[in-house]
């Protein structure tokens, strides 16, 4: 699918054709996005909002056009509900600070889940320490799905917010966010969705989902690094205080106090990443030109194909020695597979597999994937993670399986 647009895919690594299967960490960028960055710097680069001059006005218009594009892309009611940030981590930290400063008091509770990325744990943990509040997590069932019965029992009059990943970056599994949101809303509790691993792979409609906040990163969806989004329902964003002070976010500054700007500028202190927002718009245009449904279907098919090939390799058994354990096996996944290989009962360290794959030009991720509590629960030192983007195809899977076979023949 559109491989030609991604020049980097023609690169050689250790003298072999690059097979890039680390898309959950970051995606590659198509020519269209690189062109948008080039166009911005060569044609209209100028600081936004403050200038009366032409270039400043063009830059301002482009930044707001990008905001409108993001709003439409995720089905927000208005572009005022789109705050540009540096990425998912920055979005969650912004929310934790703003929401926490205003609404959290001693003894209150925040709920996350047992399969979160560190960026949806640590900001809440830091907040809870500051406020003497309690961070709780939804436990996992045997099959690594969320225990919603337990969640039901955790919701109480002290719960202030629930924050959950839409798609696990370790397992690729889709969490029942609609159900979680419904259950929380029945008790008047708002929900933040970490969309870092869902927005790049599936059609999102924040209004249909009814989440109160959503965070995601541009660099995982074919856009540049340094740009991300915090979506918030207007009624929430209007209530919440700014998390950072500086230029742009103010209305008037006097020695006896400052009044704040309207939405969304209240949450965008300093010069925003207006080149990044424009490039993110180009990335969204690019994804839309293919179609989100087509992207999701393609990646799910590839994931199923890869799982099958991995199982095939295990069945082949390298003389009956190898067992390949795929986590959350058979569950629908958004382009991510985590697995470990056992030689008899002995785990082959994921790092060793990753290194031998790299030597053959295959880029995968190994380790805890910034989700240590989940990896601890899985009782392994880490996993090997393969993750797909829209440009991957079966030839990448075949190359990966051949390279894995070779790696295992060395390790066993
Ligand atoms: N949440 C999830 C589920 C992620 O996969 C990631 C990135 N691996 C993040 C949050 C953090 O994203 P970023 O590093 O772009 O802020």
Q: Kindly report, residue by residue over 371-405, the tens digit of the pLDDT.
A: 999 999 999 999 999 999 999 999 999 999 999 99
The per-residue pLDDT for 51 is 79
Q: Which CATH number fits domain 31-290: 3.30.450.80, 2.60.120.1130, 3.40.50.1100, 3.40.640.10?
A: 3.40.640.10
Q: 39 pLDDT exceeds 60?
A: yes
CA 217 / ligand 1 centre spacing (Å): 7
Which residue has its alpha carbon closest to ligand 1 atom 5? Answer: 169
Q: Which CATH number fits domain 292-411: 3.40.50.1370, 3.90.1150.10, 3.40.50.2300, 3.40.640.10?
A: 3.90.1150.10
CA 346 / ligand 1 centre spacing (Å): 31
Q: One fold for both 31-290 and 292-411? A: no
Atom number of ligand 1 nearest to Cα 88: 16
**Ligand 1 in reach of 117 Cβ (< 6 A):** yes
Q: 288 pLDDT exceeds 90?
A: yes
**Ligand 1 in reach of 119 Cβ (< 6 A):** yes
Q: Kindly report, residue by residue over 315-335, the tens digit of the pLDDT.
A: 776 656 789 999 999 899 999
The per-residue pLDDT for 344 is 87
CA distance 370 to 237: 29
CA 318 / ligand 1 centre spacing (Å): 36
Q: To test ligand 1's pocket by mutation, which of 89, 91, 365 has the most ligand atoms within 8 angstroms of CB?
A: 89
What does the block give as tokens for 380?
């392994």
CA distance 383 to 136: 25
Which residue has its alpha carbon closest to ligand 1 atom 8? Answer: 25
Look up 370 and say whether it is catalytic: yes
Q: Kindly report, residue by residue over 200-229, the tens digit of the pLDDT.
A: 999 999 999 999 999 999 999 999 999 999
Q: Kindly report, residue by residue over 129-178, the tens digit of the pLDDT.
A: 999 999 999 999 999 999 999 999 999 999 999 999 999 999 999 999 99
Domain boundaries along the sequence of the chain: 31-290, 292-411
**Ligand 1 in reach of 87 Cβ (< 6 A):** yes
Given a contact cutoff of 8 angstroms between Cβ atoms, the answer to whether 29 and 224 are in contact is yes
**Mean per-residue pLDDT over the chain, rounded:** 96
Q: Kindly report, residue by residue over 89-141, the tens digit of the pLDDT.
A: 999 999 999 999 999 999 999 999 999 999 999 999 999 999 999 999 999 99
CA 198 / ligand 1 centre spacing (Å): 11
């Amino acid at each position: 699918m559109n491989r030609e647009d991604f020049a980097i895919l023609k690169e050689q690594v250790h003298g072999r054709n690059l097979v890039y299967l680390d898309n959950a960490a970051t995606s590659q960028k198509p020519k269209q996005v690189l062109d948008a960055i080039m166009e911005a710097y060569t044609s209209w680069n100028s600081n936004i909002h403050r200038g009366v001059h032409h270039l400043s006005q063009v830059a301002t218009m482009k930044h707001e056009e990008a905001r409108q594009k993001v709003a439409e892309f995720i089905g927000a009611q208005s572009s005022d509900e789109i705050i540009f940030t540096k990425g998912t981590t920055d979005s969650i930290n912004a929310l934790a600070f703003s929401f926490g400063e205003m609404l959290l008091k001693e003894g209150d509770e925040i709920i996350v889940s047992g399969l979160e990325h560190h960026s949806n744990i640590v900001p809440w943990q830091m907040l809870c320490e500051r406020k003497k509040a309690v961070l709780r997590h939804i436990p996992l069932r045997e099959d690594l799905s969320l225990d919603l019965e337990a969640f039901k029992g955790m919701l109480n009059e002290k719960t202030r917010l629930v924050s959950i990943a839409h798609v696990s970056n370790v397992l690729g599994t889709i969490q029942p966010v609609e159900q979680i949101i419904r259950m929380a809303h029945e008790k008047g509790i708002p929900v933040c969705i970490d969309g870092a691993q869902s927005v790049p792979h599936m059609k999102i409609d924040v209004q249909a989902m009814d989440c109160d906040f959503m965070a995601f990163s541009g660099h995982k969806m074919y856009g540049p690094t340094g740009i991300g989004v915090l979506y918030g329902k207007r009624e929430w964003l209007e209530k919440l205080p700014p998390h950072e002070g500086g230029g742009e976010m103010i209305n008037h500054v006097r020695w006896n106090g400052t009044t704040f700007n309207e939405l969304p500028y209240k949450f965008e202190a300093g010069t925003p990443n207006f080149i990044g927002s424009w490039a993110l718009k180009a990335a969204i245009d690019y994804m839309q030109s293919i179609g989100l449904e087509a992207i999701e279907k393609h990646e799910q098919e590839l994931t199923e194909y890869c799982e099958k090939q991995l199982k095939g390799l295990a069945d082949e058994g390298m003389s009956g020695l190898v067992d390949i354990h795929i986590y959350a096996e058979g569950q629908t996944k958004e382009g991510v597979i985590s697995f470990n290989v056992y030689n008899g009962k002995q785990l082959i360290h994921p790092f060793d597999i990753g290194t031998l794959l790299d030597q053959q030009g295959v880029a995968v991720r190994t380790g805890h994937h910034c989700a240590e509590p989940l990896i601890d629960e899985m009782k392994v030192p880490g996993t090997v993670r393969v993750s797909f983007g829209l440009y991957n195809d079966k030839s990448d899977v075949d190359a990966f399986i051949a390279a894995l076979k070779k790696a295992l023949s060395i390790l066993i």
